[in-house]
Amino acid sequence: MLKLFDGYVHGGLTRRDFLDRAAKYAVGGFTAAAMLESLKPNFAWAQQVAKDDARIRTESLTYPSPQGSGTMRGYYARPAKAAGKLPGVLVIHENRGLNPYTEDVARRLAVLNFVAFAPDALTPLGGYPGDEDKAREMFAKLDHVKRIEDMVATAGFLKSRPECTGKIGAVGFCIGGTVANTLAVRIPDLGAAAPFYGGPPAATDVAKIKAPLMIHYAGNDERLNARWPEFETALKTNNVKYEMHMYPGTEHGFHNDTTPRYDEAAAKLAWQRTVDFFNKTLRG
């Protein structure tokens, strides 16, 4: 069921395809439609840091993307009482836009003494719509080239913030993990990148990576894991500093604590590794 859901989430299956294939797993009143509903995100689960937490300040900010969509919007989170400037972290969402889960990840970083900025790739189409199915449909309509430029533009914006030291990293999930890898290619002075189950860059682009990488994969994610050997060879060939962690028995999306794909033990371990990695690479 989780593999079927992964196919549906990433556009490999239509809603009808999912329901037809899931029907064979139906038991009693637990229909295919009920299964799909049970797999949809519950954002109340994900709120580890409340929007009005006194330790942080949050706001929606616009930023220029002259090579992309012109003007973009994102979610900015920072400590309420910082002693001096702090390192920054870009938080790149999955293929559903800037949803509450991604905003909460930004707040989690803010309480850990980072300034965090989470751009919304759906800005050109009006922003995250509040409905995950509609958000995926919107995301698929984005101009791919402009979308990447919109994400690259976030780096200069975050560096320019008066609260930021200018040392920044990137963490991304799913397609956001792919973008985190792309930012490592495109931004020579990126301080660090932590892609969660993201697609690798082209092998010929790996030589451009100067930032150390903290790479997280789900053990049951055959689609992406099949690409790891080639990626690893390119990293070694080009002497890129990296760590790769594979989490056995987990599904693609295991860090997202709004769906049944969430694996608490793996998510907490991967997150602590990521925070330690950013503390090591972005501070000092």
164 is a catalytic site residue: no
221 is a catalytic site residue: yes
DSSP line for 69-107: TEEEEEEEEEETT-SS-EEEEEEE--TT-S-HHHHHHHH
CB 150 within 8 A of CB 69: yes
Strand pairing report for 86-92 and 115-119: parallel
Nearest Cα to 76, choosing from 163, 179, 201?
163
Catalytic residue among 150, 221, 257, 263: 221
Amino acid at 100: P
Rg of the chain, C-alpha, whole Å: 18
CA distance 132 to 101: 12
Which residue has 């707040």 as its token pair? 107
Which residue has 């800005």 as its token pair? 123
CA distance 19 to 8: 10
Catalytic residue among 252, 255, 257, 263: 252
Catalytic residue among 174, 216, 255, 257: 174
Q: Is 177 exposed, middle or buried (0-12, 13-18, 19+ CB in 10 A)?
A: buried
Which residue has 């993990």 as its token pair? 177
Catalytic residue numbers read 174, 221, 252
